[in-house]
Amino acid sequence: MTSMSDTASASPMAVTPLRAGALLDARAADTPARLDLGPVLRAYQAYGAVLLRGLDLDRRGFKDFTERFLDRFMDYVGGADNDRSSAYGDDNTVLTVTGGAVAKLAVPLHGEMFYTQPRPAALFFCCITPAAERGETTLCDGVALWNALPAAIQNRFDAQKIQYRRIYDRDTWHKVYRSDDLAQVEQRCADAGLGLRARDDGGIEVTHVCHAWLPTTAGKAFVNSILPWAAREYVAGMADSEVRFEDGSELPVDMLYEIHGIADELTQNVDWQPGDVALVDNRRFMHGRRAYDDLRRDIIMRLGAAPLEGAAGG
């Protein structure tokens, strides 16, 4: 029986630290069903994100493999990308992340569903088909990013929480919440600690107030949805999303560009190969995507409802 230690140089699963996260070489595993999860979880705990190469997972393989880690996955009710669809039959916990209204565009770094509650604790990505060029998923360690921010920026996010406000017209909230029952959606938002205001035109506004960072055992992690929300409002000129400080003041655009620049220096591009799988701690890491042209790009994901067991602090 071979040792599955992830520290010995003779390990069958070599760990290569990346600019953010780590790459694990799982080619020696004879089957994903028997891969020793211990080294994977230890690397996940140490690095916050793990790219597993060599398991050659397909859609079914990804579904089965992720269920070795967790038995509870979230659907995407309440998620902002209302074109997101199931990537595996009628199982609405296996999601496609390509296609929809924003196909091909770059997506700035963000924590998944950080503008709302509940949020996934862990993310699983799987590459079915990479883009021919570009289209990398991006990963950034929120702890490293927080530590790299100037004190003046840290102080602003310590002093004030941020507020996400999403404005949905009637058709959109029916789709996002998969319901046309306002009372039911009000209850759902109240249960999650979200503010909801019904508009005279049949639309709703949903607000969520939280810090821009999360506490972790390694210190504060800058994890939030600020950058894509600001891009949506200030770059794309869309009027359906706003992110502000809690007192309603705008986040200065030059500060946002400064954060974006610092984050980019710390970002790892995931150069996908078919069958790769990535595990990402959504309470420590942000992820995003580089732009691409190839519409064959097919990346799927699952949202883990709980932290990965054996990966405390994640």
Nearest residue (CB) to Fe ion, 112 versus 281: 112
State how beta strands 95-96 and 298-304 pair: antiparallel
Any residues with CB less than 8 A from the CB of 238 and at least 6 apart, and which?
232
In the complex, the smallest distance separating the C-beta of residue 125 from Fe ion, rounded to whole angstroms, is 9
Q: Does 276 bind Fe ion (CB under 5 A)?
A: no
Q: How far is the CB of 242 from Fe ion (least distance, A)?
A: 19
Stretch that binds Fe ion, among 110-118, 143-151, 187-195, 210-218 (CB under 5 A): 110-118
- b/e per residue 1-33 (b: at least 16 CB within 10 A): eeebebeeeebbbbbeebebbbbbbbeebeebe
DSSP-based helix, strand, coil % in the chain, nearest 5:
25, 25, 50
Burial of residue 106 (CB within 10 Å: 0-12, 13-18, 19+) is: middle
* Ranges within 16-75 binding Fe ion (CB under 5 A): none
Site string for Fe ion, 211-250 (x = CB under 5 A): ----------------------------------------
Nearer to Fe ion, 8 or 291 (CB): 291
Give the separation between CA 194 and CA 168, rounded to whole angstroms.
14
**Only segment of 106-114, 175-183, 194-202, 219-227 that touches Fe ion (CB under 5 A):** 106-114
Q: Whole-number minimum distance, CB 281 to Fe ion, in Å? A: 14
Instruction: Select the residue interacting with Fe ion from 15, 49, 66, 112 (CB under 5 A).
Output: 112
Contact pattern for Fe ion over residues 116 through 135, marking x by CB under 5 A? --------------------
| Smallest distance, Fe ion to C-beta of residue 287, A | 6
The region of 36-44, 109-117, 256-264, 303-311 touching Fe ion under the rule CB under 5 A is 109-117
Between 112 and 242, whose beta carbon lies closer to Fe ion?
Answer: 112
Stretch that binds Fe ion, among 105-113, 164-172, 185-193, 290-298 (CB under 5 A): 105-113
| E-only strand ranges, the chain | 15-17, 22-25, 49-53, 73-74, 95-96, 107-110, 122-129, 137-141, 162-168, 195-198, 204-210, 213-216, 219-222, 241-245, 268-270, 277-281, 285-289, 298-304
Q: What is the number of alpha carbons within 13 Å of residue 196 lying toward its C-beta?
A: 23
Cβ at position 110, least distance to Fe ion in Å: 6
| Straight-line distance from the first to the last Cα atom of the chain, in angstroms, rounded to the nearest whole number | 30
Give the residue with the Cβ less far from Fe ion, 137 or 207: 137
Q: Would you tell me which residues interact with Fe ion (CB under 5 A)? A: 112
